[in-house]
């Protein structure tokens, strides 16, 4: 129920979907500016609105729909006909014709692909040391695989589009039902929809088969709420119940241009009757049936299509979420830039050296090695530039295509382990964890701040009515209250209020699809369905309670006049009813903070005391109040409500004002208390997160007392925690300024006294929404208020737990944003279950949705969805930790192995006259990253576990070892790079001294440069593979298979590659090189020596680090820590 307004906040206006074309964007802009102009000048009256309608600007901001394509009678306003798209849904990106160019364009827009394309083109154009095949083949492979995958996905989308676009739809034409295909629907068509059918486009409900002109709809596929919602037809069109009648309807609809907010719609229907003034009726979201929703419990309805195809709210809503990038990706890009600089630096150095070396023509062109005529005539600058490019090409493998492919594959495949995890499977829901994006796997291991919702996340959101309190008397449903029925007037009213003031629907068993709900003991029962579990709990509690008190015998009839819906800003809802006695009553229930200030009479003190006591116990409380409306009051209220509802613009605001006016002067009746139990293991999870060094913030809309109680129960606050309050109550006494400085002084003094030696005093901060907005509000002058933000952050940083209560959804996102933007740029995680958490889930680095009771919106908008809060522990501490160490090793290792690969080539340039002579054969250059060294690291990055799952779970503090991107920080990166450089030097100079002016065959024959390269390459492949083997802590058969398999593959390939005169090659330089090398004993000895030598420093470093200053993880590896229990 309170999803409504929150949803609208969750989708900020700037989030216009990409499918909107430019002109629409323009229109929206106009609409916006026009609205602003209206509000400023206060021109809101209906007559002026019509005047404005005639201006062309306004014309374009509204759309006018002729129902049944019937022109309005002459004399009505002259409308300019607009063109609307047809009802075709296009979710596919490509057509058969544009697939290749468009897909290629898309792919080469990625900077990495573009880089490789550039290298490939350079290889094609200039005379380069390596053939274009070496970079062309991998690039071609990557591009093709991606294109096939995207093509397949697009084909699936085409198929889905097709089946949707061609599904049959009933349209009323000339008074008869005509069956047509969905994509032929036009704006203005009258459509008939039968029960259980999905609406083919956005429709305005004209009439339904039910007498009251209502219909029931479930929007499960739109926002996940499975409850039935009621939609209404305009009373004036309600009567058109047959095809002929509907077809005779003569009306136009004015409404706003399509916008993505599912719960907002503003429009007006003008009904023309002969010889009568046209009737104008307001249209709101309750009249609009959305595409994608399903008709329920209603035989059929008639509606007029107003938004079709890509204009429908559903289509506008399925925009792609903004891509989140993980911290690892960012550091990877930083490393890439370093390597790019290194690459350019190397090429530059070599070019400069080459030309200084070539200064004497003997070096440049000795008699045995002349240039061609064409080459000689080239200008020296061009030659130098070509040489530079050639060096770039020679060294370009330092940034390998395969790294991107491997990282993508690792993320994609690795994410399956989350979905496969049976520990995160919930039997009740029948669902395990869901991965909506695999880009953020490793970010799960980097979380520093956890923002969690309370209701439904920490707690079960399974409400149970505990007690109620009427005028200070307490009633508990299960305990017989000694018949202490005070037949006070208020009590009667109180129960009536609870029975009346809700939006709960009764659902009969028979109408529900049989099996799923289950027939209870064979007899049909009725269900209460509401979007708010509190209400269900209350109504069910009432039912039980009233049965106890035998109230059932008396029945009253009330006429429901108005429902003043709940929203999270007002935090209350009201109904206006007329009793059988003709008395008008307004019942209101809501949060105590929103009711009590409006109460004028009643036993406020007793109730307040009870409410506070309940809240401390962690119960959710609601206050109930009523107001008797005199006829005059009622008239006034009706007038205000209908005026507000009729307004085309600013309807929400005006409704607010009307509600505000009506809901006042209450008489307090009592309060209810509903228990929301803590989720299983919630406290344990929070405790683990704390131990893992994460700061847990609870952001809730609930009131402070309840929230604090939950926090204590869930061990967010401990007994020892010193609570700092930053609440409205306090800021009322002191100025915000003083409070803030007070708190920061408390926190900072403590720290300066204790220093870093002892564990600081645990601080917990409580802040409420009002104070938060005051803190965050940009003041008139930046001098003072700009600091508040900083001071606030400073306080927060020193608190282990923070509770933010009374939060509006947008404020939740604000908090997340605030922390995200603070100077350490911590990684944030938001977890929630309801629509009110969507904004913070989208805002945080990692958004986790709980598949809760309040619909699936949070789960759908999240990056990962889990069934229960307790699963967060395994998600972060185990999966996150694993993914992080895996990808960190993957990234570092990739850079390392390519330094090892390329740096010998660089060194070789000094010994070959800077001529860009490659050290390795083309096949080795091409296959090094693709096949010789690719699989072991991929498998490692998929299944490595350096510590057992149980250890990680038992000792959450191990999470601190990987915090702050510690495995990808610059010192570690430097270590890997230096290791790579060291190994490269060992390879090169080892081979150099082995080859230096001597022979190492027993028959005196000599080896050439290709044997030199092959020797280095062999040492290289073995070293980097064994280096990975040293890093592997988990040797499953797969690891054995790929590591030894890769080495074996290298040997077999080399034997084969050198064993045959390959007819398609124009050179045979590798012929028998590998075998000749292996036939020489010293080559074997040399290879073994060099491998040992290059692995030695890493082993020594590892052993020393482990022995001298072991990390917690390393201690945990050696032996399980003694149990602490």
Partner 1 sequence: MMASSYNAKEEDGNPSSATVHGGAGTVKNKKPDNTAFKQQRLPAWQPILTAGTVLPAFFVIGLIFIPIGIGLFVTSNNIKEFEIDYTGVDLSSPCFNCSQNYIWNSTTPCTCSVPFSLDQPFESNVFMYYGLSNFYQNHRRYVKSRDDSQLNGDLSSLKNPSKECEPYRTSENKPIAPCGAIANSLFNDTLDLYYIDPNGSRTAIPLVKKGIAWWTDKHVKFRNPAGNNLTVVFQGTSKPVNWRKPVYELDPSDSDNNGFINEDFIVWMRTAALPTFRKLYRIIQKKPNNMSPTLPRGQYILDVTYNYPVRSFEGRKRMILSTISWMGGKNPFLGIAYITVGSVCFFLGIVLLIIHHKYGNRNNNADIPN
Tokens of 29: 């802009």
Q: Which helix (H) or strand (E) is 202 found in, with range?
A: strand 202-208
Identified binder of partner 1 from the candidate list 149, 639, 745, 749, rule CB under 8 A: 149
Q: Could you write out the three-class secondary structure of 677-690? A: EECCCHHHHHHHHH
Is residue 1001 involved in binding partner 1 (CB under 8 A)?
yes
CB of 375 to partner 1, least distance (A): 9
Q: Which helix (H) or strand (E) is 464 found in, with range?
A: strand 459-470
SS3 463: strand
Is residue 484 involved in binding partner 1 (CB under 8 A)?
no
Distance between CA atoms of residues 1102 and 1091, nearest Å: 17
SS3 126: coil
**Which residues inside 667-686 make contact with partner 1, applying CB under 8 A?**
none
Is residue 111 involved in binding partner 1 (CB under 8 A)?
no
Known binding residues for ATP: 453-455, 535, 566, 589, 620, 700-702, 806, 812, 836-837
Identified binder of partner 1 from the candidate list 60, 543, 820, 1033, rule CB under 8 A: 1033
The smaller minimum CB distance to partner 1, of residues 487 and 1066, is found at 1066
Is residue 134 involved in binding partner 1 (CB under 8 A)?
no
Q: Residues 709-726, buried b or exposed e (16+ Cβ, 10 A)?
A: bbbbbbbbbeeebebbbb
Is residue 1041 involved in binding partner 1 (CB under 8 A)?
no
The smaller minimum CB distance to partner 1, of residues 80 and 374, is found at 374
302: number of Cβ within 10 Å: 27
Q: Answer yes or no: are the C-beta atoms of 91 and 161 closer than 8 Å.
A: yes
Identified binder of partner 1 from the candidate list 26, 140, 385, 420, rule CB under 8 A: 420
Part of the chain binding partner 1 (CB under 8 A), chosen from 66-74, 204-212, 215-223, 768-776: 215-223
Identified binder of partner 1 from the candidate list 31, 52, 123, 129, rule CB under 8 A: 129
Distance between CA atoms of residues 980 and 444, nearest Å: 29
Part of the chain binding partner 1 (CB under 8 A), chosen from 103-111, 280-288, 342-350, 503-511: 103-111
Q: Which of 392, 338, 394, 341 lies closest to 977 in space, CA to CA?
A: 338
How many residues does the structure list for the chain?
A: 1125
Q: State residue 277 phi and psi, 5-degree precision.
A: -65, 140
Distance between CA atoms of residues 890 and 943, nearest Å: 12
Is residue 1012 involved in binding partner 1 (CB under 8 A)?
yes
Is residue 22 involved in binding partner 1 (CB under 8 A)?
no
Is residue 884 involved in binding partner 1 (CB under 8 A)?
no
The smaller minimum CB distance to partner 1, of residues 1044 and 1067, is found at 1067
Q: Answer yes or no: are the C-beta atoms of 504 and 528 closer than 8 Å.
A: yes
**Which residues inside 1098-1117 make contact with partner 1, applying CB under 8 A?**
1099-1100, 1102-1104, 1106-1108, 1110, 1115, 1117
Rg (CA), the chain: 36
Q: Residues 655-677, buried b or exposed e (16+ Cβ, 10 A)?
A: bbebbeebbeebebbbbbbbbbe
Q: Exactly one of 453, 567, 676, 961 is catalytic; name it.
A: 453
Part of the chain binding partner 1 (CB under 8 A), chosen from 153-161, 267-275, 897-905, 970-978: 153-161
Known binding residues for Mg(2+): 453, 455, 833, 837
Is residue 230 involved in binding partner 1 (CB under 8 A)?
no
**Which residues inside 922-981 make contact with partner 1, applying CB under 8 A?**
943, 945, 949
18: number of Cβ within 10 Å: 8
Distance between CA atoms of residues 805 and 700, nearest Å: 5
Is residue 60 involved in binding partner 1 (CB under 8 A)?
no
Distance between CA atoms of residues 1053 and 397, nearest Å: 21
Identified binder of partner 1 from the candidate list 59, 150, 773, 785, rule CB under 8 A: 150
- Order of strands, sheet of 214-219, starting from the edge strand that comes earlier in the sequence: 225-232, 214-219, 294-296
**Which residues inside 277-306 make contact with partner 1, applying CB under 8 A?**
291-292
Is residue 21 involved in binding partner 1 (CB under 8 A)?
no
Distance between CA atoms of residues 943 and 411, nearest Å: 12
Is residue 691 involved in binding partner 1 (CB under 8 A)?
no
Is residue 1037 involved in binding partner 1 (CB under 8 A)?
yes
Sign of CA dihedral 1089, 1095, 1100, 1106: negative
Is residue 430 involved in binding partner 1 (CB under 8 A)?
yes
Distance between CA atoms of residues 469 and 476, nearest Å: 9
- Tokens 């995680």 appear where? 829
CB of 361 to partner 1, least distance (A): 10
The smaller minimum CB distance to partner 1, of residues 107 and 180, is found at 107
**β-strand 251-256 against 267-271: which pairing, if any?**
antiparallel
Identified binder of partner 1 from the candidate list 244, 370, 601, 735, rule CB under 8 A: 370
CB of 108 to partner 1, least distance (A): 8
Tokens of 95: 């057509």
- Tokens 């803590």 appear where? 678
Identified binder of partner 1 from the candidate list 221, 565, 822, 966, rule CB under 8 A: 221
Q: By CB neighbour count within 10 A (0-12 exposed, 13-18 middle, 19+ buried), where does 751 fall?
A: middle
CB of 99 to partner 1, least distance (A): 13
Q: Residues 366-393, buried b or exposed e (16+ Cβ, 10 A)?
A: eeeeeeeeeeeeeeeeebeebbbbbbbb
Draw the binding track, 309-328, toward partner 1 (x: CB under 8 A; -: no contact): -----xx--x-xx-x-----
Tokens of 289: 């049936």
CB of 917 to partner 1, least distance (A): 4
Longest Cα separation, the chain: 121
Is residue 1034 involved in binding partner 1 (CB under 8 A)?
yes
CB of 318 to partner 1, least distance (A): 4
**Which residues inside 829-858 make contact with partner 1, applying CB under 8 A?**
856
The smaller minimum CB distance to partner 1, of residues 602 and 918, is found at 918
Q: State residue 677 phi and psi, 5-degree precision.
A: -70, 150
Distance between CA atoms of residues 185 and 180, nearest Å: 8
CB of 176 to partner 1, least distance (A): 28
Identified binder of partner 1 from the candidate list 121, 125, 419, 488, rule CB under 8 A: 419
Part of the chain binding partner 1 (CB under 8 A), chosen from 142-150, 173-181, 266-274, 641-649: 142-150
The smaller minimum CB distance to partner 1, of residues 42 and 359, is found at 359
Q: Can you say how many angstroms the Cα of residue 887 is from the centroid of all Cα atoms in its chain?
A: 21
Is residue 902 involved in binding partner 1 (CB under 8 A)?
no
**Which residues inside 350-369 make contact with partner 1, applying CB under 8 A?**
362-363, 366-369
**Which residues inside 1045-1074 make contact with partner 1, applying CB under 8 A?**
1061, 1066-1069, 1071-1072
CB of 638 to partner 1, least distance (A): 39
Tokens of 857: 């919106």
The smaller minimum CB distance to partner 1, of residues 27 and 1077, is found at 1077
Part of the chain binding partner 1 (CB under 8 A), chosen from 266-274, 342-350, 501-509, 914-922: 914-922
Identified binder of partner 1 from the candidate list 60, 70, 88, 157, rule CB under 8 A: 157
Active site residue 421: no
Identified binder of partner 1 from the candidate list 693, 913, 953, 954, rule CB under 8 A: 913
The smaller minimum CB distance to partner 1, of residues 242 and 1002, is found at 1002
CB of 357 to partner 1, least distance (A): 11
Is residue 435 involved in binding partner 1 (CB under 8 A)?
yes
Distance between CA atoms of residues 1078 and 1001, nearest Å: 10
- DSSP string computed for 702-727: S-HHHHHHHHHHTTSS-TTPEEEEE-
**Which residues inside 979-998 make contact with partner 1, applying CB under 8 A?**
990, 992-998
**β-strand 695-699 against 801-805: which pairing, if any?**
parallel
Q: Which residues are catalytic?
A: 453
């Amino acid at each position: 129920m309170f999803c409504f307004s929150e949803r609208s906040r969750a989708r900020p206006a700037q989030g216009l979907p990409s499918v909107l074309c430019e002109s629409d964007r323009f229109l929206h802009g106009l609409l916006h500016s026009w609205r602003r102009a209206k509000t400023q000048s206060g021109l809101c009256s209906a007559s002026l609105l019509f005047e404005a309608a005639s201006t062309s600007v306004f014309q374009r901001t509204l759309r006018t729909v002729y129902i049944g394509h019937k022109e309005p009678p002459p004399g009505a306003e002259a409308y300019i006909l607009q063109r609307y798209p047809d009802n075709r849904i296009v979710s596919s990106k490509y057509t058969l014709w544009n697939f290749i160019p468009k897909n290629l364009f898309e792919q080469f827009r990625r900077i990495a692909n573009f880089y490789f394309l550039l290298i490939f083109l350079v290889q094609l154009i200039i005379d380069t040391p390596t053939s274009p095949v070496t970079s062309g083949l991998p690039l071609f492979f990557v591009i093709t695989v991606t294109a096939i995958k995207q093509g397949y996905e697009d084909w699936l989308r085409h198929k889905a589009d097709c089946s949707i676009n061609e599904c049959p739809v009933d349209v009323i034409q000339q008074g008869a039902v005509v069956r047509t295909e969905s994509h032929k629907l036009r704006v203005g068509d009258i459509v008939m929809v039968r029960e259980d059918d999905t609406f083919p486009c956005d429709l305005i409900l004209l009439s339904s088969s039910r007498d009251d002109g209502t219909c029931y709809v479930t929007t499960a596929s739109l926002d996940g709420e499975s409850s039935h919602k009621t939609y209404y037809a305009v009373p004036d069109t309600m009567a058109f119940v047959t095809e002929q009648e509907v077809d005779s309807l003569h009306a136009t609809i004015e409404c706003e241009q399509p916008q993505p907010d599912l719960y907002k719609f503003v429009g007006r229907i003008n009904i023309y009757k002969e010889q009568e003034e046209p009737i104008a009726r307001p249209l709101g979201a309750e009249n609009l049936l959305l595409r994608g929703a399903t008709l329920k419990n209603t035989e059929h309805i008639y509606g007029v299509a107003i938004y079709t195809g890509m204009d429908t709210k559903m289509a506008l809503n399925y925009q792609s979420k903004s891509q989140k990038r993980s911290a690892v990706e960012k550091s990877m890009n930083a490393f890439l830039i370093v390597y790019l600089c290194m690459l350019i630096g190397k090429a530059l150095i070599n070019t400069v050296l080459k030309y200084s070396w070539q200064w004497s023509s003997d070096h440049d062109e000795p008699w045995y090695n002349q240039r061609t005529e064409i080459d000689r005539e080239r200008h020296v600058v061009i030659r130098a530039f070509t040489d530079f490019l050639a060096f770039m090409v020679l060294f370009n493998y330092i940034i390998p295509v395969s790294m991107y492919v491997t990282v993508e594959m690792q993320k994609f495949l690795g994410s399956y382990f989350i979905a496969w995890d049976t520990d995160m499977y919930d039997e009740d829901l029948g669902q395990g964890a869901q991965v909506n994006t695999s880009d953020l796997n490793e970010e799960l291991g980097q979380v520093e701040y956890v923002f969690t919702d309370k209701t439904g996340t920490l707690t079960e959101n399974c409400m149970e009515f505990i007690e109620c309190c009427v005028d200070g008397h307490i009633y508990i449903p299960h305990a017989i209250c000694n018949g202490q029925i005070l037949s006070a007037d208020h009590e009667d009213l109180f129960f009536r209020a609870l029975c009346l003031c809700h939006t709960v629907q009764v659902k009969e068993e028979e109408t529900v699809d049989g099996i799923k709900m289950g027939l209870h003991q064979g007899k049909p029962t009725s269900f209460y369905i509401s979007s708010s579990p509190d209400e269900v709990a209350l109504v069910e509690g009432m039912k039980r309670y009233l049965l106890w008190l035998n109230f059932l015998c008396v029945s009253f009839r009330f006429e429901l006049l108005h429902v003043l819906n709940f929203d999270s800003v007002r935090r209350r809802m009201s109904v206006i009813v007329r009793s059988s006695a003709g008395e008008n009553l307004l019942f209101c229930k809501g949060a105590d903070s929103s009711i009590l200030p409006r109460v004028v009479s009643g036993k406020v003190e007793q109730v307040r005391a009870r409410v506070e006591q309940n809240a401390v116990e962690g119960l959710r409380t609601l206050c109930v109040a009523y107001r008797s409306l005199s006829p005059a009051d009622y008239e006034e209220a009706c007038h205000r409500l209908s005026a507000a509802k009729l307004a085309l613009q600013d309807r929400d605001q005006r409704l607010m004002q009307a509600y505000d006016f009506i809901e006042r002067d209450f008489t307090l009746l009592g309060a209810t208390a509903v228990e929301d139990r803590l989720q299983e293991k919630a406290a344990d999870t929070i405790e683990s997160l704390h131990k893992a060094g994460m700061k847990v913030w609870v952001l809730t809309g609930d009131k402070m007392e309840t929230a604090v109680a939950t926090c204590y129960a869930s061990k967010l606050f401990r007994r020892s925690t010193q609570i700092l309050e930053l609440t409205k109550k306090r800021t009322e006494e002191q100025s915000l300024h003083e409070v803030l400085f007070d708190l920061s002084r408390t926190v900072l003094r403590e720290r300066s006294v204790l220093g870093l030696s002892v564990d600081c005093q645990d601080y917990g901060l409580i802040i409420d929404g009002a104070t938060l907005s005051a803190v965050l509000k940009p003041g008139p002058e930046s001098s003072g208020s700009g600091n508040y933000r900083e001071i606030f952050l400073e306080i927060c940083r020193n608190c282990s737990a923070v509770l933010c209560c009374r939060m509006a959804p947008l404020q939740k996102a604000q908090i997340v944003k605030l922390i995200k933007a603070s100077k350490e740029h911590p990684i944030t995680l938001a977890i929630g279950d309801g629509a009110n958490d969507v904004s913070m889930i989208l805002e945080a680095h990692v958004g986790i949705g709980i598949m809760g009771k309040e619909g699936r919106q949070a789960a759908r908008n999240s990056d990962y969805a889990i069934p229960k809060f307790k699963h967060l522990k395994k998600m972060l501490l185990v999966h996150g930790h694993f993914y992080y160490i895996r990808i960190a090793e993957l990234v570092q290792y990739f850079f390392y192995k390519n330094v090892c690969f390329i740096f010998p080539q660089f060194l070789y340039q000094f010994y070959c006259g800077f001529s860009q002579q490659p050290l390795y054969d083309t096949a080795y250059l091409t296959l090094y990253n693709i096949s010789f060294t690719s699989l072991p690291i991929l498998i490692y990055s998929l299944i490595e576990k350096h510590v057992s799952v149980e250890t990680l779970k038992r000792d959450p503090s191990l999470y601190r070892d990987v915090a702050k991107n510690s495995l990808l920080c610059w010192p570690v990166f430097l270590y890997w790079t230096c290791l790579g450089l060291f190994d490269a030097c060992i390879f090169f100079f080892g081979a150099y001294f082995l080859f230096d002016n001597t022979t190492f065959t027993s028959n005196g024959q000599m080896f050439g440069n290709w044997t030199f390269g092959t020797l280095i390459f062999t040492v290289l492949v073995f070293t980097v593979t064994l280096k990975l083997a040293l890093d592997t802590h988990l040797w499953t058969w797969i690891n054995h298979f790929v590591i030894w398999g890769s080495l074996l593959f290298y040997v077999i390939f080399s034997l084969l590659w050198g064993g045959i005169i390959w007819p398609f090659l124009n050179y045979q330089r590798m012929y028998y090189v590998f075998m000749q090398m292996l036939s020489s004993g010293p080559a074997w000895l040399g290879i073994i020596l060099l491998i040992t030598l290059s692995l030695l420093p890493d082993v020594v470093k590892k052993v020393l680090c482990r022995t001298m200053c072991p990390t917690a993880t390393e201690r945990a590896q050696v032996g399980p820590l003694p149990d602490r229990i």
